[in-house]
Chains A and B, each alone.
Chain A
């Protein structure tokens, strides 16, 4: 009797430990409860994170009835595409899209090339005063645009560059421009990881510095080039403050069109009668459709190049490698 009780007890203890191990795990972070907690937290925070975008998508497909109907929360009763056609016309999508591309891809090409050259110089050559260059770069990083923007505006005005993409392209030729320092650092960090023996081999074969750079260094630096190109494009695309200042009224980009969306809409559809309220009125859904159209190119880009984007931090060398 005594023995049976003991056996039962030990069985119970064994079961207890077994259940405990499954639930809480061996090390405190591999149990079921912990996993549940981690996933739960990640998924709910992820939802909160995506909430504005989900809201944007859901809202943009709603017709006026759905919009006014309080029972329709997330799923519209039918896919209402009229919002998009209207927003498309209001944004003057194709033209504006090309403006945006010109305004972001051209400067991005400039930065990708020039920052690579500067980064190469910083990574592979010893010369006095290098630390001064790095210090100056840090200054460039912390001085806000607002400090230098007015002199630059006056300067670009003097050279009649305002109203075109030139105020964005010209600085990038000199490895400046939006977050130029960051790109130089990305390159510097990447080039440093390339073994010196590779260059020496090329130099043995009689290649000069320039040739080594183009035939040996650049071909194996594709990851860094892609990262810089992507980020430069995206950041130039999203820049609205300087863009609206430099471009003025003569040129407009997609994000800028959002500012004048209401006016453009009124010009296209609204005009005339204000009495009775029967005319086509702008509603949130149309604005949301416009917003979605504006971020759509970026979303598509992100969908395909997501891995590359996420790599950026590993490449800047903030991790201390």
Chain B
């Protein structure tokens, strides 16, 4: 009997392995090996000759060059980081706001949801660039009221440039919130209605119950959305840095080796962002747990 059970268990495990095997092979072929090879390349000077790929070990020269000598990379990376730091909170706050609005008892929920999700379906790098260059993505009113001039006058150019960029691309930024709105909506719908009733019986205004009930309840979704937004922002082809990496691939003096080094630095930045988000949200949880323990 017990032998049969083991057999059944083993058969289950084996079937499971068989089903997941395609992914594992794919992972090795299209992820693990490329990752290994790209680490390798990033420490080499790569030239492509008639006989194939020639690599020449250069220690950390590629990385050194990226930070110390490359005229564009550091500048573009910093600019992109700055704009990402600006964009992530805007996207999160905006998508939460829209989700809260749609979650109200209103008619035509489906229509509004569909409108806010539309950009996810139709945006590709080229189309977005086109709309942007034709001025279709700037809110017309913003220019009229001279907001940009005010910012220009009051801030140093190091900060005013990214902020003005943000304003001029506001619609575009909002366009990146489609998925996030849906995630928040799903989160909001999971909040227990009775908690709101209890809060309002205790005399909490909608404003208070937002801060005390809604926000804590959807906190995990904020974390998910921040991670999603970061990955999305950094990997979509709208980033200048990504263009730079591609440009360096086919640049004769720098080549594949240097381009991979840039890609790794870029990945490092993403990783730091994600780590920061995780820390931000884990710390808070620990604080509340500690508080609870103290009061208990």
Contact = CB atoms under 8 A, between A and B. Distances in A.
Interface of A: 27-30, 34-35, 38-39, 41-42, 45-46, 48-53, 55-56, 59, 114, 117-118, 120-122, 124-128, 130, 133, 136, 139-155, 171, 173-176, 180, 184, 209, 234, 237-241, 245, 255-256, 258-259, 284, 287-288, 291, 294-295, 298-299, 301-302, 306-307, 309-310, 312-314, 318-320
B260 A150 contact: yes
Contacts of A114: 22-23, 26
B34 A152 contact: yes
A52 B274 CA distance: 31
Contact of B112 (A46, A143, A147, A154): A46
B121 interface: yes
Interface string B88-101: 00000000001001
- Main SS of chain B's interface residues? helix
A125 B127 contact: no
Given A48-B174, A245-B246, A313-B186, A118 B235 contact: no
B15 interface: yes
24 contacts: A28-B205, A29-B104, A29-B105, A49-B119, A49-B174, A51-B139, A55-B134, A127-B13, A140-B27, A141-B231, A146-B242, A147-B38, A151-B34, A151-B37, A155-B34, A173-B22, A176-B27, A240-B124, A241-B125, A255-B124, A284-B134, A294-B127, A310-B113, A313-B183
Contacts of B29: 171, 174, 176
A114 B53 CA distance: 33
A125 B124 contact: no
B31 A240 contact: no
Interface stretch (B143-151, B157-165, B261-269): B261-269
Given A55-B136, A140-B27, A171-B30, A121 B20 contact: yes
Contacts of A28: 200, 205-206
Contact of B30 (A48, A120, A130, A148): A148
Interface residues of B, number: 91
Interface in B159-191: 171, 174-175, 179, 182-183, 185-187, 190
Interface of B: 9, 12-20, 22-27, 29-31, 33-35, 37-38, 41, 53, 98, 101-102, 104-106, 110, 112-127, 129-131, 134, 136-137, 139, 171, 174-175, 179, 182-183, 185-187, 190, 200, 205-206, 220-221, 224, 231, 234-235, 237, 242, 245-246, 249, 256, 259-260, 262-264, 266-267, 270-271, 274
Nearest to A230: B121
